[in-house]
C-alpha cells in the first residue's frame, strides 16, 4: 500500500490487513491514526499520544525539559514580529524550523546574520508556525531507540551514530 501519511482510506486498508501497526516516523497523522485504530480495533503498541510529543518540535523540547533533559535555547515563532524578538533573545547563529512536518533540512532556514533575517522576512512563508533554535556546535549526532513490550519490559537498542 503506497500512500501519504494522512491517507485515511489507505491506513484503514493496512489496518484491516494487519495484526498491529507501528510507526518509526513522527510525521504520521495522529488524528487519522487514532480514528483508524478506534474504527478497526487494530493494535497500535506505541499508542497515538507519543506522536503528540514527537510530531511537534515545541512539544518535544518542552517534554524533554520537563523530564530534566537539556535542550538548546528556543522560542516559538508564529509571525515576522516574533522572529525579530526571538533573534534578539537567542542571537546568532540560529536555525528556524517548522514546528511540524520538516525533516532533513526541509522546512529549515539558517539564520547567521541580520541579512538572513531580512531575506527571510521578505519571503515569509504563509501560515508558518516555527521554532527558532540556538545553533549548537556538536561532535556527532546519535539515535537512541527504546522499546517496551506488553509486559512493561523496557529494552534499549544499540546507540547508533547518524
| Per-residue confidence (pLDDT) for residue 136, from 0 to 100 | 92
| Per-residue confidence (pLDDT) for residue 51, from 0 to 100 | 87
Contact predicate 134/125, CB 8 Å: no
CA distances to 3, 11, 27, 63, 110 from 32, in Å:
13, 8, 12, 23, 32
Section 84-108 average pLDDT: 91
Phi, psi (rounded to 5 degrees) for 143: -120, 135
To which residue does cell 517534554 refer?
63
Q: Which of 87, 26, 148, 9 is nearest to 96 (CA)?
A: 87
Q: What is the pLDDT of residues 15-58, one digit of tens each?
A: 999 999 998 888 888 999 999 999 999 999 888 888 889 889 99
Section 107-120 average pLDDT: 96
If one compares 103 and 77, the residue with the highest pLDDT of the two is 77
Instruction: Give yes or no: residues 85 and 33 share one domain.
Output: no
Residues 138, 62, 125, 31: what is their CA dihedral angle, to the nearest 10 degrees?
120
CATH code: domain of residue 121: 3.30.1490.20
Beta bridge partners of 98: 130
Asked if residue 96 is part of any domain, the answer here is: yes
pTM: 0.82
Instruction: Give yes or no: residues 90 and 42 share one domain.
Output: no
- Report how many domains make up the chain: 2
Section 66-88 average pLDDT: 97
Express as a percent the part of the chain with pLDDT over 70: 99
Amino acid at each position: 500500500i503506497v500512500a501519504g501519511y494522512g491517507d485515511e482510506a489507505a491506513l484503514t486498508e493496512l489496518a484491516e490487513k494487519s495484526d498491529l501497526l507501528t510507526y518509526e516516523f513522527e510525521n504520521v497523522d495522529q488524528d487519522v491514526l487514532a480514528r483508524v485504530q478506534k474504527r478497526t480495533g487494530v493494535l497500535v503498541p506505541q499508542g497515538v499520544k507519543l506522536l503528540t510529543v514527537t510530531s511537534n518540535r515545541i512539544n518535544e523540547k518542552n517534554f524533554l525539559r520537563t523530564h530534566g533533559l537539556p535542550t538548546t535555547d528556543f522560542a516559538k515563532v508564529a509571525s515576522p514580529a516574533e522572529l525579530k524578538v526571538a533573534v534578539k533573545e537567542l542571537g546568532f547563529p540560529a536555525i528556524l524550523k517548522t514546528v511540524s512536518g520538516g525533516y532533513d533540512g526541509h522546512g529549515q532556514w539558517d539564520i547567521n546574520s541580520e541579512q538572513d533575517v531580512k531575506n527571510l522576512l521578505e519571503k515569509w512563508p504563509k501560515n508558518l508556525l516555527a521554532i527558532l533554535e540556538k545553533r549548537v556546535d556538536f561532535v556527532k549526532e546519535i539515535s537512541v531507540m527504546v522499546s517496551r513490550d506488553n509486559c512493561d519490559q523496557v529494552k534499549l537498542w544499540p546507540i547508533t551514530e547518524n
